[in-house]
């Protein structure tokens, strides 16, 4: 049996999305910047896609900018705000995705910003009082805190963080890559300057994403060299990617309730079966709180065992694709910067399983049985 449980890394493209993209790979090949009819038809497809994304997020098309994915959108938000708004300090957390953490660390190394990290508890939950006390200091600040963590599934209260940022006059960027298409974002009520999306996390194509940039904030172009994306990002657009992303988001929104219920049932099943078959199993972060975490992700903390180092390899041999992360116990393994921040036994292993609408209960049962065998063979 082949089982794909690495949907937080990337998802399979939905065949309906692929069908929507096909005309823009074949017959509709014009350059959207050309003024002739071949170009104009393609330009309209891009603008229709922008309108679709904007309507789903309850905002205006003028606030949506297409990018090459989540990493670029995060970079654009952070780097442009710092350069163009005289920001001298960034508040972030130590468990952001590298698209954010490496970017702000680099800016701190260059001396452009002071970087402050908000305190986290042993499960990776943000200390909101500490965040408020940092915000009170009066520096011109950008807060960059993700919506849901891609490794441990914790969800941050970005509504509350947005309110705090507004109260203290800070700019707010949230990396929403893992929740886009899985949770609704209403940009009329969310007090944020930037959120981001990446199509391949919600059954769209790879290499395309978007940045929502609040109309009240002006930034200079991120990529120069062309007038595309209203002068903000030069370069001929990834037309079929953009069309596919809009279709994928449309499907995700129309099926969200049904899929959330289904995927939560798979996650609950995995938790229950693991507790039955793997004595001593634990879960990292808040990922086992099915109703209050990113429901697509379960981070399993396996008991101390000689097999932990080889866990992903052994799962792979059994046809199961998942991803890992160890808390940096050996010199050669740089490990997971997220798990390293948690209060957990470093002797335990960590496997991240992440689900999609295409997974089945049979796949969950098969995976837990194989995992139990692997752990059982060498429990120390
Ligand atoms: N942010 C988060 C939370 C992610 O999980 C990812 C992808 O793993 C990214 C950003 C980067 O997105 P992309 O692959 O589109 O560059």
pTM of the predicted structure, to 2 decimals? 0.95
Mean pLDDT of 173-178: 98
CATH 3.40.640.10 residue ranges for the chain: 15-254
In the annotation, is 165 catalytic?
Answer: no
Strands (E), the chain: 3-4, 64-67, 89-92, 114-117, 141-144, 171-174, 194-198, 209-213, 282-283, 297-302, 320-321, 349-354
Atom of ligand 1 nearest to the CA of 206: 15
**Could you confirm whether domain 15-254 is CATH 3.40.640.10?**
yes
Length of the chain: 380
Q: Taking residues 71-86, report their average pLDDT.
A: 94
Mean pLDDT across 359-375: 97
Phi-psi region of 43 (alpha: psi -120 to 50; beta: other; left: phi over 0): alpha
Instruction: Quickly tell me which residue has 């997020």 as its tokens.
Output: 57
Residues 217 and 171: beta-carbon distance below 8 Å: yes
* Mutation choice for ligand 1 from 78, 156, 178, CB with most ligand atoms inside 8 A: 178
Give distance in angstroms: CA of 102 to centre of ligand 1. Answer: 13
Q: What secondary structure does DSSP assign to 46-114, as a single string? A: HHHHHHHHHHHTTS-GGGEEEESSHHHHHHHHHHHHHHHTT--EEEE-TTS-HHHHHHHHHHHHTTS-E
Question: What pLDDT, on a 0 to 100 scale, did the predictor assign at position 325?
Answer: 62
- Tell me which of 244 and 332 has the higher pLDDT: 244
Write down the pLDDT at residue 248. 98
Q: Ramachandran region of residue 192, left (φ > 0), alpha (ψ -120 to 50) or beta?
A: beta
> Among 38-47, 280-289, 295-304, 319-328, whose mean pLDDT is lowest?
319-328
Least confident of 82-96, 283-297, 314-328: 314-328
**pLDDT of amino acid 379:** 47
Residues with CB under 6 A from ligand 1: 69-71, 97, 99, 146, 150, 175, 177-178, 198, 209
Query: 17 C-alpha vs ligand 1 centroid, how far in Å?
Result: 20
Q: What is the pLDDT of residue 327?
A: 52
What is the per-residue pLDDT across 18-33, written as a single tens digit (0 to 9) for each? 999 999 999 999 999 9
pLDDT (0 to 100) of residue 329: 45
pLDDT score recorded for residue 332: 43
Distance (Å) from CA 211 to ligand 1 centroid: 13
Query: Counting atoms of ligand 1 from 1, which one is nearest the CA of 71?
Result: 16
3-11+256-379 has which fold? 3.90.1150
What are the pLDDT digits (tens) for 196-228?
999 999 999 999 999 999 998 988 999 999 999
In this predicted structure, what is the pLDDT of residue 378? Answer: 52
CA dist., res. 109 & res. 115, Å (int): 9
What mean pLDDT do residues 74-93 have?
Answer: 95
In which residue ranges of the chain is CATH 3.90.1150.10 found? 3-11+256-379
Give the closest residue to 206 by CA, choosing from 248, 255, 236, 176. 248
Distance CA 256, CA 146 (A): 21
User: How many angstroms is it from 97 CA to the middle of ligand 1?
Assistant: 7
Nearest residue CA, atom 9 of ligand 1? 70
- The answer to whether the beta carbons of residues 173 and 78 sit under 8 Å apart is yes
Supply the residue whose CA is at minimum distance from atom 8 of ligand 1: 9
Dihedrals phi, psi of 89, to nearest 5 degrees: -145, 140
- Mean predicted lDDT score pLDDT of the chain: 94
* Residue 57: both structure tokens together: 């997020």
Mean pLDDT in residue range 171-175:
98
Q: Tell whether the torsion through CA atoms of 294, 179, 152 and 355 is positive or negative.
A: positive
The tokens describing 293, both together, are 């975490």
Torsion of the alpha carbons at 98, 100, 104 and 109, rounded to the nearest 10: 20
The span from the CA of 159 to the CA of 87, in Å, is 22
Helix (H, G, I), strand (E, B) or coil at 43: helix
Whether residue 153 has pLDDT greater than 80: yes
Determine the residue of 6, 9, 11, 69 to mutate for testing ligand 1's pocket, defined as the one with the most ligand atoms within 8 A of the Cβ atom. Answer: 69
Worst-scoring range by mean pLDDT, 64-68, 133-137, 176-180, 342-346?
342-346
Give the distance (Å) from ligand 1 centre to CA of residue 341: 20
């Amino acid at each position: 049996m082949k089982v794909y449980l690495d949907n937080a890394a990337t998802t399979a493209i939905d065949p309906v999305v692929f069908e929507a993209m096909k005309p823009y790979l074949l017959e509709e090949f014009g350059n959207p910047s050309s003024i002739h009819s071949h170009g104009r038809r393609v330009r309209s497809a891009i603008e229709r896609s922008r309108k679709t994304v904007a309507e789903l997020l309850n905002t205006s098309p003028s606030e949506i900018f297409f990018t090459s994915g989540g990493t670029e959108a995060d970079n654009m938000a952070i780097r442009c705000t710092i350069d163009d708004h005289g920001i001298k300090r960034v508040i972030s957390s130590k468990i952001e995705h590298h698209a954010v953490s490496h970017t702000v660390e680099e800016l701190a190394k260059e001396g452009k910003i002071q970087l402050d990290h908000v305190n986290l508890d042993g499960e990776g939950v943000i200390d909101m009082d500490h965040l408020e006390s940092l915000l009170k200091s009066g520096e011109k600040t950008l807060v960059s805190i993700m919506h849901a963590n891609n490794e441990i599934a914790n969800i941050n209260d970005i509504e509350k963080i947005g309110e705090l940022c507004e109260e203290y006059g800070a700019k707010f960027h949230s990396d929403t890559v893992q929740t886009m298409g899985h949770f609704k974002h209403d940009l009329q009520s969310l007090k944020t300057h930037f959120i981001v999306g990446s199509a391949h996390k919600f059954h769209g194509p790879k290499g395309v994403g978007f940045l929502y940039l609040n109309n009240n904030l002006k930034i200079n172009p991120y990529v120069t060299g062309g007038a595309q994306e209203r002068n903000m990002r030069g370069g001929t657009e990834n037309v079929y990617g953009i069309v596919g992303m809009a279709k994928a988001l449309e499907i995700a929104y129309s099926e969200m309730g049904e899929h959330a219920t289904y995927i939560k049932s798979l996650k609950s099943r995995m938790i229950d079966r693991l507790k039955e078959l793997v004595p001593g199993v634990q879960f990292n972060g808040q990922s086992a709180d099915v109703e209050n975490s990113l429901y697509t992700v379960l981070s399993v903390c396996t008991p101390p065992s000689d097999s932990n180092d080889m866990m992903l390899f052994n799962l792979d041999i059994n046809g199961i694709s998942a991803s890992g992360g160890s808390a940096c116990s050996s010199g050669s393994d740089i490990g997971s910067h997220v798990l390293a921040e948690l209060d957990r036994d470093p002797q335990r292993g960590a496997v991240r399983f992440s689900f999609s609408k295409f997974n089945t209960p049979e796949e969950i049962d098969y995976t837990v049985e194989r995992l139990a065998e692997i752990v059982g063979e060498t429990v120390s």
